[in-house]
Amino acid sequence: MFLTITTTGTHDRPATDLGFLLHKHPDKAQVFRTAQGNAHVFYPEAGTERCTAALLLDVDPVALVRRGRGKGRGGAPDAALAQYVNDRPYAASSLLAVALGGVFSSALKGRCPARPELPEQPRELRVEIPVLPARGGAALVHRLFAPLGWRTVVAEPVALDAAFPEWGDSRYVRLVLEGELRLADALNHLYVLLPVLDDAKHYWVAPDEVDKLLRAGDGWLADHPEHPLITARFLSRRWGLTRQAMERLELVRLAEADGTVVEELDNAVDETHDTEDRPVPLAAQRRTALLAALRAAGAQRVLDLGCGQGQLVQELLKDPAFTEIVGVDVSVRALTAAARRLRLDRMGERQSSRVTLRQGSLTYTDKGLTGYDAAVLSEVIEHLDLPRLPALEYAVFGAARPRTVLVTTPNVEYNVRWESLPAGHARHGDHRFEWTREEFRSWARSVAERYGYGVAFEAVGTDDPEVGPPTQMAVFSLTAPTDHPATGTTGTTGTPGAPETTANTPATTPKEERAV
């Protein structure tokens, strides 16, 4: 199994940057032991103008069969010959995709600590795979790769036997892709689409495969015209998993339609300003204030809505008083970062039973979010387009209806205190609005009144006598019984102003509601 990646370059942007991007030195030939066999990485050419990296996977067919048998799959002892004599060692398949994922894992994630600017830059790439099994033929290869920005997609059928042309073509093609892309995108395309084309995964597809697909498909799969086929085949046609993945892709599309940038949003500006201005970063002060408010409310089961990369979830986990913590975010990338931060995969059972991360969009009601003590919306509302805010209000205050809701958002008045922030600029590129204290308070009071909550306000960060604190927080406490007219939780049909909603249906709002 063989794959080459070639890039071209100039004196200013040498092709050998490929070595940095792949984290593999162009002067070295390296061998990596993988579960599939030995993976060799070497560079047949490495110059300023052209550089080619090759990945050769030397599959051990005997080990493959033995492992298969050990797992009780595909290992019927009497089908002996077919197991040892097959295309697996030669054809690019899920084996190559898995090796690619292992050997180039940082490159797939777009990480390059030595040269952090490189992964973001598209560059001229040429990928060649001499033997690619393609169930669906060259036509499918085109349908899969062409929508992804590849300028040239060549899928040349490989003859069954060059000496006997009359035997016709095999089910293999020689694949050549050319285009100007970011390397991480190119690798993620291959990671997903090679096994899709082969359509015969060598391993049992477990539920975590849905996460792998969504992670690798971030930014391209949701809108790919062939996403149903890609999803079904990648998940080996396990329909339960396929349905799950399709629903999550639908969420991504809905959020995009809402105008949400499904990106890793990290409050970058806040954090930089903070370190300049004060010893304790504002984000940390915010978490302290949120924790204090949650403790004061006696909350045990907590939702962190728009949890981002999971910093608050991590803090909550440290206090056993919080018995159940659910982080919700629409961004797969943020959730992946959160899972990594929390080391979910290495967490003991006791801890992991306290925490759940789930993908969801907050402008849609979700039955799974009802019955919690408290919900936190920390620096989230300002990421929504104003016209979508009432939908979030309904989903949180009307449908999920926790006893306590904490909402933090920047106080725009404070922006003048940040010297490095140009006048009139929001703190974060994705903020759709930033409110004055008065704007925030009148919004919060109107929400509280409509949904039967009381509301109090707290300052987070130094409360400047003139412009107020950098972050403002509203603490909502449920006062009305659950059959408050605006909530529609009574179960009676036709409640005035109560939109009928089920999980993931748009939470439309009563007519009289307006965003501030």
Nearer to ligand SAH, 195 or 281 (CB): 281
Contact pick of 93, 285, 378, 472 for ligand SAH (by CB under 6 A): 378
Contact pick of 211, 274, 379, 393 for ligand SAH (by CB under 6 A): 379
Nearer to ligand SAH, 55 or 362 (CB): 362
CA-based torsion, 163, 168, 174, 178: positive or negative: positive
**Interface stretch with ligand SAH, choices 51-59, 238-246, 323-331, 431-439 (CB under 6 A):** 323-331
**Bridge-partner residues for 113, per DSSP?**
none
Residues 6+ apart with CB under 8 A from 511: 497
- The residue count for binding ligand SAH (CB under 6 A) is 21
The alpha carbon torsion through 277, 281, 285, 287 (nearest 10 deg) reads 160
> CA 191 to CA 38: how far, in whole Å?
18
Asked if 331 is part of the footprint of ligand SAH (rule: CB under 6 A), the reply reads yes
**Residue 261 half-sphere exposure, CB side, CA atoms within 13 Å?**
12
Nearer to ligand SAH, 335 or 455 (CB): 335
**Interface stretch with ligand SAH, choices 117-125, 328-336, 431-439, 466-474 (CB under 6 A):** 328-336
To the nearest whole angstrom, how small is the minimum distance from the Cβ of residue 263 to ligand SAH?
7
Residue numbers 470-489 binding ligand SAH by CB under 6 A? none
Nearer to ligand SAH, 100 or 221 (CB): 221
Asked if 409 is part of the footprint of ligand SAH (rule: CB under 6 A), the reply reads no
Nearer to ligand SAH, 94 or 501 (CB): 501
Closest CA to 327 of 294, 278, 362, 363: 362
Residues 6+ apart with CB under 8 A from 498: 398, 485, 486, 487, 488, 490, 510
Contact pick of 281, 308, 402, 461 for ligand SAH (by CB under 6 A): 308
Residue numbers 347-376 binding ligand SAH by CB under 6 A? 361-363
Asked if 427 is part of the footprint of ligand SAH (rule: CB under 6 A), the reply reads no
Write out the two tokens for 35. Answer: 């579960």
Following DSSP, what letter does each residue of 257-315 receive, concatenated?
Answer: HHT---S----HHHHHHHHHH-SS-HHHHHHHHHHHHHHHTT--EEEEET-TTSHHHHH
For 464, counting Cβ atoms within 10 Å of its Cβ (0-12 exposed, 13-18 middle, 19+ buried), the class is middle
To the nearest whole angstrom, how small is the minimum distance from the Cβ of residue 362 to ligand SAH?
4
Asked if 338 is part of the footprint of ligand SAH (rule: CB under 6 A), the reply reads no
The single residue listed with the structure tokens 């809505």 is 305
Residue numbers 49-108 binding ligand SAH by CB under 6 A? none
- How long a stretch of residues is the chain? 516
Asked if 339 is part of the footprint of ligand SAH (rule: CB under 6 A), the reply reads no
To the nearest whole angstrom, how small is the minimum distance from the Cβ of residue 506 to ligand SAH?
12
> CA 17 to CA 48: how far, in whole Å?
9
Question: What residue is closest to ligand SAH based on CB?
Answer: 308
To the nearest whole angstrom, how small is the minimum distance from the Cβ of residue 300 to ligand SAH?
20
Asked if 330 is part of the footprint of ligand SAH (rule: CB under 6 A), the reply reads yes
**Residue 69 half-sphere exposure, CB side, CA atoms within 13 Å?**
14
> CA 248 to CA 232: how far, in whole Å?
14
Write out the two tokens for 293. Answer: 């408010």
**Interface stretch with ligand SAH, choices 98-106, 377-385, 412-420, 505-513 (CB under 6 A):** 377-385
Give the chain's radius of gyration (CA, Å): 27
**Interface stretch with ligand SAH, choices 72-80, 232-240, 306-314, 498-506 (CB under 6 A):** 306-314
Closest CA to 245 of 218, 277, 279: 218
Asked if 222 is part of the footprint of ligand SAH (rule: CB under 6 A), the reply reads no
**Interface stretch with ligand SAH, choices 167-175, 177-185, 222-230, 326-334 (CB under 6 A):** 326-334
Asked if 307 is part of the footprint of ligand SAH (rule: CB under 6 A), the reply reads yes
Question: Which phi and psi (to 5°) does residue 24 adopt?
Answer: -135, 125
Question: Which phi and psi (to 5°) does residue 242 adopt?
Answer: -60, -45
Write out the two tokens for 417. Answer: 């205190």
To the nearest whole angstrom, how small is the minimum distance from the Cβ of residue 85 to ligand SAH?
50
**Interface stretch with ligand SAH, choices 43-51, 101-109, 213-221, 302-310 (CB under 6 A):** 302-310
For 403, counting Cβ atoms within 10 Å of its Cβ (0-12 exposed, 13-18 middle, 19+ buried), the class is middle
Contact pick of 384, 389, 407, 460 for ligand SAH (by CB under 6 A): 384
Nearer to ligand SAH, 329 or 413 (CB): 329
The single residue listed with the structure tokens 């970063």 is 281
Q: Are 218 and 253 spatial neighbours (Cβ–Cβ below 8 Å)?
A: no
Residue numbers 228-287 binding ligand SAH by CB under 6 A? 255, 260, 265, 267, 283
Residues that bind ligand SAH (CB under 6 A): 255, 260, 265, 267, 283, 306-308, 311, 329-331, 334, 361-363, 378-380, 383-384
